[in-house]
Structure 1
Amino acid sequence: MDSSLVGGGLNVTLTIRLLMHGKVSKGESVKKMREESGARINISEGNCPERIITLAGPTTSIFKAFSMIIEKLEEDISTSMTNSTATSKPPVTMRLVVPASQCGSLIGKGGCKIKEIRESAGAQVQVAGDMLPNSTERAITVAGTPQSIIECVKQICVVMLESPPKGVTIPYRPKPSGSPVIFAGGQLTKLHQLAMQQSPFPIAHGNQGFQAGMDASAQTGSHELTIPNDLIGCIIGRQGAKINEIRQMSGAQIKIANPVEGSTDRQVTITGSHASISLAEYLINARLSSEATGLAAN
C-alpha cells in the first residue's frame, strides 16, 4: 500500500496483488482493462502455472479494473458450465497476495475481524496459514458472487491501509513448472494449503467448516473431474490420508471411481455445497500442481 487513509475514505493510491492459476490472457482484454479503468496492470512473466497480476493506481481505477477481472472470471465459469455436467454454478474464486505481517489485523482477535468482513460482504474469506514459497506473503482466498467479492476486497484494503506491513516484505514470485524450487527454512509442507486453523469456523464443525453463515451455500450440487491414473495416487495419499484430509477441510463428499479397463483416466465426483465443491477442487488442484513440480508431500 502506498498511502494512508485520506479523510476516512478510500480515495488513495494503492496496490493489489492477485494470484491467478492457469493461462492469463495478455491481449486485447488486458489492454481494454487498462484503458477503461486507468489502472496500471502488470502480469508476471515466465512459463509458470501461476501468474501474479498487480493492479496499481487510485482506488476508483483499481476497483474498476478489479470488477472487470471478476466479470471475466464469471464469464469463464459460465462458458465452462456449457461443456460440464455440473448442475450448480461454482462461485467465483479469487486469491489475493498480502504481506504476512498484515494478516493478524485482517483476522482480528479470535477471528472477529475476518468474521465481520465475511458477514457484511457476504463472501467467504480464507487466510492461508503458511507463507507462499520463498516469500513473506500469504494467500487470501475469496469466493462468492462478483459483487460480494468486490465488497470484501474493499474492506480488506481498508484494513491493510490502516495496518501497514511491518519489516521487509519478500514478494512471492511463481516458479516455472518443472524447475527445482528451494524453500527458505522448510516453510512449505503442502503447496498453497488453505489452512483452517485461523478460521473462526473450525474443522470440528464438519460439513459447515468452510461455509458456515452462508445461506446460499446450503444448496448442494456435484461436480466431476477427470484425473490421469498416474496422478491419482497423489490425491489419495498413503492409505487414503490425503483424500480424507481434503474431505475434512472442504466438507465435501469425494468419490473416486474404480479404474476402467482401457482408460488412462479416473473419474472423481465431488458433492456438497458450492463452497465445499470449490474448496475441494482447489485443494485437489494444489495437490496436482505440487506433484507436477515434484513437491508433493508424502
Structure 2
Amino acid sequence: MEMEPTKVQSEGGLNVTLTIRLLMHGKEVGSIIGKKGETVKKMREESGARINISEGNCPERIVTITGPTDTIFKAFAMIAYKFEEDIINSMSNSQATSKPPVTLRLVVPASQCGSLIGKGGSKIKEMRESTGAQVQVAGDMLPNSTERAVTISGTPEAIIQCVKQICVVMLESPPKGATIPYRPKPASTPVIFSGGQAYTIQGQYAIPHPDLTKLHQLAMQQTPFTPLGQTTPAFPGLDASPPASTHELTIPNDLIGCIIGRQGTKINEIRQMSGAQIKIANAMEGSSERQITITGTPANISLAQYLINARFRDVAAMWNDPSSMTTS
C-alpha cells in the first residue's frame, strides 16, 4: 500500500490520530492539573496532544488524550513521570522502603479487549514479558457502559512501552459496534423526599430528581408497610427530614448474591438510589438466612425495599426464562 508523503512513520506503526481514555481518582487529577492548571498546560504544550479532563465533582474523572500516536506517547510519559514524582514525594514523608509502582488505568471499549488479551491470554502475556509492566483487563464492564478498565503498573519506562503496544493493538482492531462510554458517577448525593417529590442535595440546593420521584411513587403503590412503632400512615405531607427509622428483612442465603451483585455493585446502586443505609449481616452458622437492616427516613426505606423486591423479580424472571440470562 502506498503511503502519502505527509504521514510520518513513527514507532509502533503509522502516525495516526488516536484517542486514549484514562480513569483517575480526584487526587491524581489534581496532580495532573497542577497549581492553577500549570502542569496540564505544560503537558499539552510539550506533548502536542489534546488533554481533556471530565467535569463534575466525581471521585473519579476521565482524562482523554487525543493526537497523533507520538504526541500521545509523550503525554503518557509526562503523566507516568509525574505520578512517579508524586510517589517519591509521598515516600519521603513515610517509612516505606520499597517504591510502589506507578499505576495507570485505561478505559478501553470491551470489543477491543479480546484483541488485547489475545488467544488464551497470549497477547497480554507477551506485553507483560516484553515491557516488564503488569497489565490487567477487568472482567466486568464499568457501570452503565460497554468499556472495561485496563490497569497498567510498573516503572514509567515500562508503562510507556506497554501503552505503545496497546495503541498498536487498538489501531489494528478498531472497536466493533457502538461503544457506550463510561461516565463516572458524582459522589453519592443524599436523597430527600418531600411532598411526594425526590430531591438530591447539591451544595446548598435541593434539585428535583424526576427518575427517583417516579421510583418513589411506584414504591408508594407497591409497599404499604408501616415503619415500626408508627400507626399513622408513613407519608402524610412528608417533610424533608422525618426521623430516621429502621426496618429489618431476612433473605435466604442463596438469594443474597443477587442483591449484593458483583463486588457489591447492586447493593451500592440500591443504597445510592434510595438514600437509605443498608447493612447485611454476616452469615450465621447453621442459618439459611441473612438479616438485612435498612435505616433512613420512611421514604428512603420503602424505596430501598422496593428496589430489593424489584431485584428479586428480575432474577426470578431470569430463572424462568434462561434466554434472558445475559441481561443481569
User: Aligned-pair distance for 1:187?
Assistant: 11
Structure 1 residue corresponding to 2:263, chosen from 175, 184, 190 = 190
Is the contact between residue 130 and residue 187 of structure 1 (CA under 8 Å) also seen in structure 2? no
- Residue 164 of structure 1 corresponds to which residue in structure 2? 174
Q: Which amino acid aligns with 2:174?
A: P
Larger Rg: 2
Distance in 2 (CA, whole Å) between partners of 1:188 and 1:96 is 24
- Residue 63 of structure 1 corresponds to which residue in structure 2? 73
Distance in 2 (CA, whole Å) between partners of 1:108 and 1:21 is 29
RMSD: 2.9
Alignment deviations for residues 139-196 of structure 1 (CA, whole Å, 9 cap, x no partner): 000010000000001001101110110010000011111148x9xxx9962279xxxx
Is the contact between residue 128 and residue 138 of structure 1 (CA under 8 Å) also seen in structure 2? yes
- 1:39 to 2:43 alignment: no
Alignment deviations for residues 21-68 of structure 1 (CA, whole Å, 9 cap, x no partner): 123233100011111111100000100111110000111111111111
Q: Which amino acid aligns with 1:190?
A: Q
Query: Per chain length, whose mean CA-contact separation is higher, i.e. which structure has more relative contact order (CA < 8 Å, sep 6+)?
Result: 1
Does the C-alpha gap of structure 1 residues 98 and 6 become closer, same or farther in structure 2, counting only changes over 3 Å?
farther
- Residue 286 of structure 1 corresponds to which residue in structure 2? none
| 3-state SS of paired residue (2:150) | strand
List runs of 5+ in structure 1 lacking aligned partners.
193-232, 240-298
- 1:83 to 2:93 alignment: yes
- 1:105 to 2:119 alignment: no
List runs of 5+ in structure 2 lacking aligned partners.
1-6, 191-210, 212-258, 266-278, 284-328
Is the contact between residue 73 and residue 163 of structure 2 (CA under 8 Å) also seen in structure 1? no
Does the C-alpha gap of structure 1 residues 10 and 80 become closer, same or farther in structure 2, counting only changes over 3 Å?
farther
| 3-state SS of paired residue (1:84) | coil
- Residue 15 of structure 1 corresponds to which residue in structure 2? 19
Percent identity of paired positions between Structure 1 and Structure 2 = 76
| 3-state SS of paired residue (1:190) | helix
- 1:116 to 2:126 alignment: yes
Which ranges of 4 or more aligned residues in structure 1 deviate by more than 6 Å? 5-8
Does the C-alpha gap of structure 1 residues 48 and 111 become closer, same or farther in structure 2, counting only changes over 3 Å?
same
Q: What is the aligned length?
A: 191
